[in-house]
Amino acid sequence: MRIIPAATITETIARLCQQANYFLPFDVEDALIEASQKEGSPRAREILTQISGNANVARERSIALCQDTGIAEIFVNLGQEVHIDGEILQDAVNKGVARGYAMGYLRTSIVADPLDRVNTNDNTPAQLTLVIVPGDRIEITVLPKGGGTENASALRMFPPSAGWPGIVEFVLETVREKGINACPPLVVGVGIGGSFSAVGKLAKLALLRPVGSVPAAGAYAARERELLDAINALGIGPMGLGGRTTALAVHIEHAPCHIACLPVAIAMNCHSMRRMTETI
C-alpha cells in the first residue's frame, strides 16, 4: 500500500489548473498549424494564425488562453494500492482548484445554486470523475470547460433502429445549430451507449484523447473521419466566419448499452482545447 498525502493532490491540482489555462497542448497547436496550411479561405487562415499567436502569448506570459477559465473538470484514475492520507479526495480536489484559481488570477465562474446564481468565488466545487485502476499511482487530468462549449452540448435517447445514420444526422444538426457559439474550430466528443447518466461522461472522456489519435476500436476510426469530413463540409469555419476548418477532430467513446436503447451525447470544446495531466 502506498500512502499519498492529500496535500500532494491539492498541490498538484492547483498547479494543473494554472498550467491547463495557460498552456495549449502541443497536439492542439500542431492541429491548428496543419489546418491553416490546408485552409482555402484567406480569412480563415488569418484567424487560425491569430489563434496560434494567442497561444504563444499565453504561454510566454503565463496568462489565461481565454477569459472564460471554465468549470474545473477533474478526472482521477486512482490506483487501488493507494491510500490517501489526511482528508477525503473530494476535499483535496476542491482545495486544489480554489488555490490554483486564486494563485493563477483565473476567473471564478461557479454559482452555488443554479437559480439563485450566487458565485462561490473560488470556482468550486469541481466536477470530479473517479476511476479505480490497478497500481499505486494517481493520474490526474484537469479539463477547464468553458460555458460556451457546455451550452453547445446535447444528449438524445434514440431507438436502436436509428443506428449510425441517426447519429450522424444528430451530430451535424447539433454542430450546425450550436457550434458557431462554441468558438470553432472545435474538438467534438461523441459518446455512444451506456445509459442516460453515463453517455455524457463518455462524450467528455472523448475530449481527453490527443487530437486526431486513432481509437482502440478500429471500426470507429472510419466513423470519426466520416463525421469530421461532414462537419468541415458545413462551411462554418474558424470563429464561424467561413472556411473548411470547423473542427480539428471528432473523437468517439462507446460503451455497452441496453437492448432497447441507443444513448448519444455530444460534448464540444473550442480551439482552446485545454487539458493537462500529471501522475503522482
Residue 48 makes CB contacts below 8 A (sequence gap 6+) with: 32, 35, 36, 39, 185, 238, 245
Cα–Cα dist 29/115, whole Å: 38
Q: Is the peptide bond before 215 cis (omega within 30 degrees of 0)?
A: no
Question: How much is the mean pLDDT over the chain?
Answer: 97
- Average pLDDT on 186-211 reads 97
Quick one: pLDDT at residue 102?
A: 98
In 2-17, which positions are buried (b, 16+ CB within 10 angstroms) versus exposed (e)? eebebebbbbbbbbbb
- Pair type for strands 186-194 and 247-257: parallel
What is the tens place of the pLDDT at every residue in 54-77?
Answer: 999 999 999 999 999 999 999 999
Residue 135 makes CB contacts below 8 A (sequence gap 6+) with: 79, 80, 81
Domain coordinates of the chain in residue numbers? 2-20+65-145, 148-273
* The amino acid at 171: V
